[in-house]
Amino acid sequence: MKAIIFDMDGVLVLGSTRYHLEAWDKAVKENNVKIGLISEDEYNRLEGARGREILEYILKKNKRRLQVSLKEKVYSRKKEIFAYIDKSWVEPNARRVLSALKGKDYKLALATGNNREVARRFIKGNFEGLFDAVITGDEIKMGKPHPEIYIKTVKRLGLKNTECIVVENAPLGIASAKRAGLFVVAVTSTLPRRYLTDADKVIRNLSELNSVIRSVW
């Protein structure tokens, strides 16, 4: 095992769901789109999908269709609002765990459905210099559970899928990584264990990751 690939929201960043939902709420209201949003629990189960895919899910649930131009306007405004209101925080053990792994010469990567600007803000001041590869939702055609993001991440690391493990927190991300042929460790940070049963290992927090690595490799 040569590399660990981390999802972002719910793994390295906590508390973002409420701000994503608030940003969606403000964006649809500003554009006079009358739809009901989804609960935090349901949004957490969608974590890993790209923003446009989440909007499509919400519209479908409301049995609504919008013109492409209006959907893009809503999505663009949502990103602007989220950047302004986001007060999510870094998982308390994340910096220590990632620094320790880097010190053992593991390659580290970030694979997130978030756009690159959100990922850049997160990395700056928190994890600068730690990631050997960063793949965001802007660089893929299909969001999780499609395996594209993890296939691209492994390729950018210059490794084989058997040389990497993934740390995820949601069903779509787990499915994406498994379809890419990767070993998956799931963290119960946003969802209970019953939603994460397709992962190879389930842990309570990042502090337990090192013990999983030692036990498997």
Q: What is the pLDDT of residue 214?
A: 85
Q: What is the pLDDT of residue 158?
A: 97
Q: Identify the helix (H) or strand (E) that includes residue 135.
A: strand 133-135
Q: What is the pLDDT of residue 48?
A: 86
Q: Token pair of 131, please?
A: 């990631």
Q: What is the pLDDT of residue 129?
A: 93
Q: What is the pLDDT of residue 125?
A: 79
For the chain (217 residues), the mean pLDDT of every run of 10, in chain order, is: 96 95 97 95 91 95 96 96 94 94 96 91 91 95 95 97 96 97 97 96 95 83
Query: What DSSP assignment string belongs to 93-124?
Result: THHHHHHHHHHTT-EEEEE-SS-HHHHHHHHT
Q: Are 96 and 71 a contacting pair, CB within 8 Å?
A: no
Q: How many helices (H) and strands (E) does the chain have?
A: 9, 8
Q: Token pair of 36, please?
A: 């009901």
Q: What is the pLDDT of residue 23?
A: 97
Question: Strand 107-111 to strand 133-135: parallel, antiparallel, or no bridges (unpaired)?
Answer: parallel
Q: Are 50 and 137 a contacting pair, CB within 8 Å?
A: yes
Q: What is the pLDDT of residue 20?
A: 95
